[in-house]
Amino acid sequence: MPQNRVLSGIQPTGEPHLGNLLGAVRWWVADQREGDCFYCVVDLHGLTVAGDPDQRRAASMTMATLLLAAGLDPDSCTLFLQSHVPEHTQLAWLLECTASFGELRRMTQFKDKSAKEGEEAARVGLFTYPCLMAADILLYDADRVPVGDDQRQHLELTRNLAQRFNARYGSDVFVVPEAQIPPPGRGARIMNLQEPERKMSKSAGSPQGVIGLMEDPRDIERKVRRAVTDADDGPDAVRYDTAAKPGVSSLLELLATLEGTRPEEVAARYSRYGPLKADLAAAVVAAVEPIQARYRELDKDPGYVASVLASGAQRAGHVAAATLERAYDAVGLLRSGP
Ligand code: TYM
């Protein structure tokens, strides 16, 4: 079995935000020369909610371009689109026949997302989504899966499915992966700046509290300035106390994550909100500006991005086909041919 295999994925739907960068993409970039890394734009997952086909096409390209702009290097990692490798949906079926209805029902992401329009209207794909995600991971024999904290439950399910499948079919078909989540307060869970009790998200919460990676620096500054803090702005207003002061604590976490320090250390440098917010805004802009500049360059050359995705799909397809073959064989599906 290969060693130090890494796989992770990101949905192309909605504008990518600071949470995606600090919880996941930044770690992908840092890891790409350490492991044998596969990074996937999970376009099929985007079909679990409504969307326009033209926007979908554009969003997949935008996300791939942005990942390259953020620092993924196609000579060091494999970047591809999920729908380019048909083995993902093929293995997902085997995993749907491994998972139980009860365990998928307990997935909090399904409960949250289906609550919006009601279970009656929720797409079956939204329900079975965790099996497709497990297939994304297991196809690549991934040892590690770098994700934000919100994916913890999906990773636990993936591990359970891999272990169950291996036990049921008496073989080591799948590598049981480990979730690799940033330390608490260091990017694991970036919060919405207007609703500090809620994670920053593409699909939920106040848009004024979400910082998009493509956003104009002036808008970023405005959003940080207006971030919710707490009523007391006395001399020791800046404290890291997530229970009593969730607003300011999430700003401290954000700045600590950007600086690579700890929130308590950042808190010690400030007594009032204003200077903290000014420094935070500058740090966020400094993090996104080079990505935006590189994006504008790459966006002029969609042929290059398409060629990266094509060779990524080819490389991913080889690995995926071998794993699917093992899984088909283990469950007892007859192979065609002599
Ligand atoms: P997605 O597209 O919602 O998010 C992509 C990555 O960003 C992380 N993230 C965050 N991290 C910190 N703070 C936040 N506020 C925040 N919001 C998002 C996510 O944890 C994720 O790592 N189901 C996945 C996509 C997926 C996947 C996979 C991931 C499909 N197949 C296989 C890993 C492996 C999702 O919806 O991520």
CATH number of domain containing 306? 3.40.50.620
Q: Is residue 191 part of a domain?
A: no
Which residue among 5, 15, 17, 20 is best mutated to probe the pocket of ligand 1, counting the most ligand atoms within 8 A of its Cβ? Answer: 20
pLDDT in tens, 194-249: 999 999 998 888 999 999 999 999 999 999 999 999 777 677 789 999 888 999 99
Instruction: Specify whether 214 is located in the same domain as 149.
Output: no
Residue 336 covered by a domain:
no
Measuring from atom 28 of ligand 1, which residue has the nearest CA?
Answer: 9
Same domain, 64 and 159: yes
The answer on 96 and 39 residing in a single domain is yes
Distance (angstroms) between ligand 1 centre and the Cα of 19 equals 9
Q: Does a structural domain hold residue 106?
A: yes
Mean pLDDT score, 168-194: 93
Q: Are residues 51 and 100 in the same domain?
A: yes
Residue 311: how many other CB atoms lie within 10 Å: 13
Q: Is residue 122 part of a domain?
A: yes
In this structure, the answer to whether residues 261 and 126 fall within a common structural domain is: no
Residues framing ligand 1 (Cβ under 6 A): 7-11, 19-20, 23-24, 42, 45, 133, 136-137, 145, 147-148, 150-151, 154, 189-190, 199-201
Q: What confidence tier does 18 reach under pLDDT thresholds 50, 70, 90? A: very high
Residue whose Cα lies nearest atom 19 of ligand 1: it is 148
In terms of domains, do 23 and 167 share one? yes
Q: What is the 3-state secondary structure (H, E, C) of the chain?
A: CCCCEEEEEECCCCCCEHHHHHHHHHHHHHHCCCCEEEEEECCCHHHHCCCCHHHHHHHHHHHHHHHHHCCCCCCCEEEEEHHHCCHHHHHHHHHHCCCCHHHHHCCHHHHHHHHHHCCCCCCHHHHHHHHHHHHHHHCCCCCEEECCHHHHHHHHHHHHHHHHHHHHCCCCCCCCCEEECCCCCCCCCCECCCCCCCECCCCCCCHHHCCECCCCHHHHHHHHHCCCCCCCCCCCCCCCCCCCCHHHHHHHHHHHHHHCCCHHHHHHCCCCHHHHHHHHHHHHHHHHHHHHHHHHHHCCCHHHHHHHHHHHHHHHHHHHHHHHHHHHHHHCCCCCCC
Ligand 1 closest atom vs CA 150: 20
- Residue-number span of the structural domain to which 63 is assigned: 5-182+301-331
150 and 166 share one domain:
yes
**Residue 285 CA to its chain's centroid (Å):** 21
pTM here is 0.96
- Domain assignment present for 13: yes
pLDDT tens digits, one per residue of 303-327: 999 999 999 999 999 999 999 999 9
Question: Which token pair is 193?
Answer: 């700046």
Determine which residue's CA is closest to atom 1 belonging to ligand 1.
Answer: 10
Q: Is the CB of residue 164 less than 8 Å from the CB of residue 98?
A: yes
Active site residue ranges: 113, 199, 202
Cα of 175 vs centre of ligand 1, distance in Å, is: 21
Atom 7 of ligand 1, nearest CA residue:
20
- 308 falls within a domain: yes
Alpha carbons 151 and 159: distance in angstroms, whole number? 13
pLDDT > 90 in the chain, percent: 85
Question: Do 138 and 230 share a structural domain?
Answer: no
Render pLDDT for 20-67 as a digit per residue (tens, 0 to 9).
999 999 999 999 999 999 999 999 999 998 899 999 999 999 999 999
In the predicted model, what is the mean pLDDT of the chain? 94
Residue 43 sits in the same domain as residue 162: yes
Mark whether 87 and 121 lie in a shared domain. Answer: yes
Number of C-beta neighbours around residue 150 at 10 A: 17
Classify residue 34: in a domain, yes or no. Answer: yes
pLDDT above 70 as % of the chain: 99
Same domain, yes or no: 315 and 280 = no
pLDDT value at residue 3: 66
Closest CA to 227 of 204, 203, 246: 246
Q: Please determine, for residue 85, whether its predicted confidence score (pLDDT) is greater than 90.
A: yes
pLDDT above 80: residue 278: yes
Same domain for 171 and 319 = yes
| Centroid of ligand 1 to alpha carbon of 43 (angstroms) | 13
Identify the residue whose C-alpha is closest to ligand 1 atom 31. 133
Query: CA triplet 145, 147, 149: central angle to 5 degrees?
Result: 130
Rounded-to-integer distance, Cα 41 and Cα 84, Å: 10
Domain count, the chain: 2
Nearest ligand 1 atom to alpha carbon 7: 34
Atom of ligand 1 nearest to the CA of 20: 7
Q: Residue 237 maps to which CATH number?
A: 1.10.240.10
Residue 160 Cα, ligand 1 centroid: separation in angstroms?
A: 19
**Ligand 1 atom nearest to CA at 13:** 2
Q: For residue 330, how far is its CA from the centre of ligand 1 (angstroms)?
A: 30
Q: CA 168, 171, 173, 179 torsion: positive or negative?
A: positive
Of 2-6, 74-78, 175-179, 223-227, least confident by mean pLDDT is: 2-6
Measured CA to CA, the distance from residue 34 to residue 180 in angstroms comes to 14
Closest listed residue to residue 132, CA positions, set 79, 93, 84: 93
Where is average pLDDT lowest: 174-183, 195-204, 297-306? 195-204
**199 falls within a domain:** no
Of 100, 29, 103, 111, the C-alpha closest to 66 is 29
pLDDT of residue 1: 46
| Chain centroid to CA 280 | 23
Ligand 1 centre from 11 Cα, in Å?
7
